[in-house]
Amino acid sequence: MDTQGNASSFSFSAPQDWALHAPLSAVPAAVNHRLNQYLSASLQEFWGINPLFTQAIEVMGDFIVGGGKRVRPTFAWAGIRAGLESSGTSTAKASSRSQEEPTELANGFLSAISAFEFIQACALIHDDIVDQSDTRRGHPTVHREFERHHRDRKWLGSSEHYGISQAILIGDLALAWADDLLLDSGLSTQRLHQCRHAWRAMRTEVIGGQILDIAVEASGTENVDHAWDVIKYKTASYTVARPLHVGAALAGASEELIEFLRTIGEDIGVAFQLRDDQLGVFGDPAVTGKPSGDDLRTGKRTVLIDSALEMGTEAQATQLREGLGNVTDEADVDELRSIIRDSGAAAHIETLITQKSERAIAHIHEAGLSKELTEELENYARRLTERSR
């Protein structure tokens, strides 16, 4: 990784092919480029604190750049492009009118959308603690990694507690750095002010959704409405609707366009999470990187599970209820899968995914976007909602 100044110097260079008209497909590589720059600069800036802190930054960096679809930055970039297009002029002219050099503006936007990945890192690191997960993307979770460090060094106290404690702090650091990367992006004060409400709301909503998720799990409620609330705030808003909102606001889009994009985002986000729920039960572990029937093993209450409890016979509901979280082998997984299929819940969720995604795509075509962005956004939405991992 090339180190360029310190993390708040605004001196990062963008990839050569990055510009205001860059396609959505260019986002993952460009964001990885910026994340590597920022992490390298931060490592240099804070090197003198202590080698143990340096190690923590390295673990966080490996976690962030080691995987992920870059979904949130991609939708934020779609929002930016939609906002710039809404002026009715080219992106170059739209930026020059406000005396912003297009290359520098694109570079600032890249930092802003990359900031989403630090929020995502915080959410995933903390989520893995809550779910007591051992692996993510085929590698040890952050708290398990630090647990191993403690155990290998034969330090005092509980290795498990040490790992959890360090992972909590690393997640907190990632959340702080998300704000730093956005605020130090080099974008104008006006642009940052325009996105402030959406950014703040998104952070609160995802944490609120997580709090609700934990409470619903602990309460044992089988009310599918509660599962829908978790989807709305923990996933749909945070993953798609708010990134579109933040991006559009940064670009100075009208409130009308922002609301239209949020409506699109909520439908895509719900379909995205419902697909995730399906994969959590029926996904191929060789593709998903998660254990077979992962949600059945952990007893996770999702819309799919709660729908099966509601739609199935009394005998099916009793068997499913007793089996959730009590899976001992693959035969148990297969049995619970059969119950969910036979209840009609799996087919019901597939219908909902189709309805939500098709409605979102119809709205994409009604949003007044350019032909290029319309096609890109439609293809991306289909890819996310029809995915196998």
Helix/strand/coil (H, E, C) string of 250-273?
Answer: HCCCCHHHHHHHHHHHHHHHHHHH
Give residue-wise pLDDT tens across range 137-160.
878 999 999 999 999 999 999 999
Long-range contacts of 344-350 (CB under 8 A, 24+ apart): 344/311, 344/312, 345/304, 345/305, 345/307, 345/308, 345/311, 345/312, 346/278, 346/281, 346/282, 346/304, 346/308, 348/307, 348/311, 349/274, 349/277, 349/278, 349/303, 349/304, 349/307, 350/278
Give residue-wise pLDDT tens across range 188-244.
999 999 999 999 999 999 999 999 999 988 888 888 899 999 999 989 999 999 999
Residue 8's pLDDT is: 56
Helix axes 330-343, 255-282, angle to 10 degrees: 130
Q: Based on the number of CB atoms within 10 Å of its own CB, is 374 exposed (0-12), middle (13-18) or buried (19 or more)?
A: middle
Which domains are assigned to the chain? 21-67+101-187 (1.10.600.10), 188-388 (1.10.600.10)
Cα–Cα distance measured from residue 48 to residue 57, given in angstroms and rounded to the nearest whole number: 13
Cα–Cα distance measured from residue 244 to residue 321, given in angstroms and rounded to the nearest whole number: 38
Tokens 């909902």: give the residue: 352
Q: What is the mean pLDDT of the chain?
A: 91
| pTM for the model | 0.92
Q: Based on the number of CB atoms within 10 Å of its own CB, is 201 exposed (0-12), middle (13-18) or buried (19 or more)?
A: middle
